[in-house]
């Protein structure tokens, strides 16, 4: 691992296009570019809403953003505590393995600790073996007995009775 000076900062409104670009890069990495609907306008409505629905951390090396983490608060009724849900974690390919992802996760853990979160959670594609190995190295347990359930688009309308 390189000895880089990695700076983690919270994104601000001037970073909207950069965040959309990172979301686009992540969607391509995940093989879901066809699902990408993110725009700077849509992101501004949720990211810089009061209170914000989601927050973004940017990882910078030599003043250049090389990765991001998008997260929000969730809640566990079992723990009766807030939790931190990591929606996206992405580091550009040339910077992987250099401590950027670890720095982002460490900052997220500090946020979780300071807000009394009972846990941090996220999903990882089962085909992303390097990602799984990275998360396990950070202390994450990959839960085999839990599956993501998703209702989106027209299915939401149908379930809502529309």
Catalytic annotation, residues: 135
Give the whole-angstrom CA distance, residue 123 versus residue 132: 10
Beta strands in 49-130 (DSSP E): 55-61, 64-76, 81-91, 120-121
The CA-based diameter of the chain, rounded to the nearest angstrom, is: 56
Closest to 94 in 3D by CA, of 125, 129, 67: 67
| Strands ordered across the beta sheet of 120-121 | 6-10, 55-61, 64-76, 81-91, 120-121
Residue whose structure tokens are 């209170």: 51
Do residues 119 and 85 touch, judged by C-beta distance below 8 A? Answer: no
């Amino acid at each position: 691992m390189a000895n880089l000076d990695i700076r983690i900062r919270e994104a601000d409104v001037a970073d909207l296009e950069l965040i959309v670009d990172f979301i686009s890069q992540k969607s391509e990495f995940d093989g879901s570019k066809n699902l990408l609907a993110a725009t700077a306008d849509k992101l501004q409505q949720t990211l810089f809403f009061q209170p914000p629905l989601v927050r973004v951390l940017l990882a910078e090396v030599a003043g250049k953003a090389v990765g991001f983490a998008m997260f929000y608060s969730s809640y566990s009724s079992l723990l009766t505590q807030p939790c931190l849900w990591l929606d996206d974690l992405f580091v550009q390919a040339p910077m992987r393995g250099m401590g950027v992802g670890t720095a982002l996760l460490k900052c997220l853990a500090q946020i979780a600790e300071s807000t009394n979160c009972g846990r941090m959670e996220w999903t990882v594609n089962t085909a992303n073996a390097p990602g799984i190995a990275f998360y396990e190295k950070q202390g994450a347990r990959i839960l085999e007995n839990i599956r993501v359930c998703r209702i989106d688009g027209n299915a939401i309308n149908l379930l809502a009775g529309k």
